[in-house]
Amino acid sequence: MCLPCPAPCSDCRSNTRCLACQPGYFLNGTGRDCIKQCPQQTFSDSSGGLCQSCHSSCQTCHGPRSANCDLCLGYFLGQDSSCVVQCPSGSYANTATQLCEDCSPSCEACLDTSDNCISCSKGSYKLFLHQGRCWSNCPEGLFETAEGLCEACDSSCLSCDGIKSQCLSCADGHYLESGMCRLNCSLRTYPADDATCRRCSPHCDVCSDDRTCFSDCSGPLADDCETCSTFSPKLYKGTCSKDCPTGTYYETEALECQGKPLDTT
């Protein structure tokens, strides 16, 4: 006696083994029963009405190939719908969603989040990496390296260029001189209001600005003076002293002692 197949089978070998299913159902290959939704690691093949196996890397899929995955088994889903162990450059592995997601446009590569860069994109202008961000100009106190990084200037520098010790401006209390930041300006220079060391006027060893010189000289010896400081204001034959030698007098217009000193021997 021929008996009708149980719904939703459209053809069957017995009341527990379907061979084909009614529309809207799919034949499960393992149990040979008709189901509305195919189980994980299989997909609904509407052309044959069957649940077909996914690629082994897929947890769910929409086709049999490795590039037909919708969700992965222990892998990350790339933008081409394939499962990968490591996301391609320009994307990062989102462990919460198991997806490869795009990095920020300024990142060439990133880690854990889209804006945590580990390298910077290379475009029409160079970017420099610092603390997971890509900068067109490094923040104050850092300089740009040839490797595309921002590194710290010397502690005395407020800003620097090329190397950490080539200062462009100085931290408070320091003065810029020949690319270095000093606590005190060197001989023949004075600390200017712009925190740089400026040259004194010619022949001036010590000055407070470009007009006020504490001493002028023509050489390094004690009798090479041309003008005198307020501490030893009297000039006589290249030597500065507090008072003119005995037998000489101080000529205010000439700013020096004149006359012949008495012989005290």
Kindly state whether residue 84 falls inside one of the protein's structural domains: no
Over residues 118-147, mean pLDDT: 91
Q: Which residue has the tokens 């205010």?
A: 252
**Structure tokens given for 85:** 């162990």
Kindly state whether residue 64 falls inside one of the protein's structural domains: no
- pLDDT at position 265 over 60: no
* pLDDT band at 100; cut points 50, 70, 90: very high
Report the CATH number at residue 184. 2.10.220.10
- pLDDT at position 3 over 90: no
The total of other beta-carbon atoms located within 10 Å of residue 70's CB is 14
Q: How far apart are CA 95 and CA 93, in angstroms?
A: 6
Q: What pLDDT was estimated at residue 166? A: 93
**Where in the sequence is the domain holding 123, given as residue range(s)?**
103-151
Q: How far apart are CA 180 and CA 167, in angstroms?
A: 6
* CA distance readout (Å), 242 to 32, 203, 217, 232, 233: 119, 21, 17, 4, 6
Kindly state whether residue 37 falls inside one of the protein's structural domains: no
Over residues 130-143, mean pLDDT: 93
Q: What pLDDT was estimated at residue 264? A: 58
Q: How far apart are CA 126 and CA 119, in angstroms?
A: 12
pLDDT for 211-224, tens place per residue? 777 666 666 666 77
Kindly state whether residue 242 falls inside one of the protein's structural domains: yes
Whether residues 225 and 258 share a domain: the answer is: yes
Domain count, the chain: 3
- pLDDT at position 228 over 80: no
CA 132 to chain centre: 7
Q: How far apart are CA 184 and CA 63, in angstroms?
A: 76
Over residues 249-265, mean pLDDT: 80
Over residues 93-121, mean pLDDT: 93
Q: What pLDDT was estimated at residue 149? A: 94
* CA distance readout (Å), 97 to 76, 83, 122: 9, 13, 28
Question: Considering the chain, what is the average pLDDT of its residues?
Answer: 87
**Structure tokens given for 53:** 């196996």
Kindly state whether residue 28 falls inside one of the protein's structural domains: no
Q: What pLDDT was estimated at residue 59? A: 92
**Structure tokens given for 157:** 């520098």
Kindly state whether residue 45 falls inside one of the protein's structural domains: no
**Structure tokens given for 122:** 């290379």
pLDDT for 158-173, tens place per residue? 999 989 999 999 989 8
Kindly state the percentage of the chain with pLDDT values over 90: 43
* pLDDT band at 86; cut points 50, 70, 90: very high
CA 227 to chain centre: 53
Q: Which of residues 117 and 122 earns the better pLDDT score? A: 117
Whether residues 194 and 206 share a domain: the answer is: no
* pLDDT band at 230; cut points 50, 70, 90: low
Whether residues 191 and 219 share a domain: the answer is: no
pLDDT for 22-75, tens place per residue? 888 999 876 678 898 888 899 988 777 889 999 999 999 999 999 999 999 889
Q: What pLDDT was estimated at residue 236? A: 87
pLDDT for 171-227, tens place per residue? 898 999 999 999 988 888 889 999 999 988 776 777 778 777 766 666 666 677 777
Whether residues 159 and 122 share a domain: the answer is: no
Evaluate whether 143 touches 135 at the Cβ level (below 8 Å): no
pTM: 0.56
Kindly state whether residue 57 falls inside one of the protein's structural domains: no
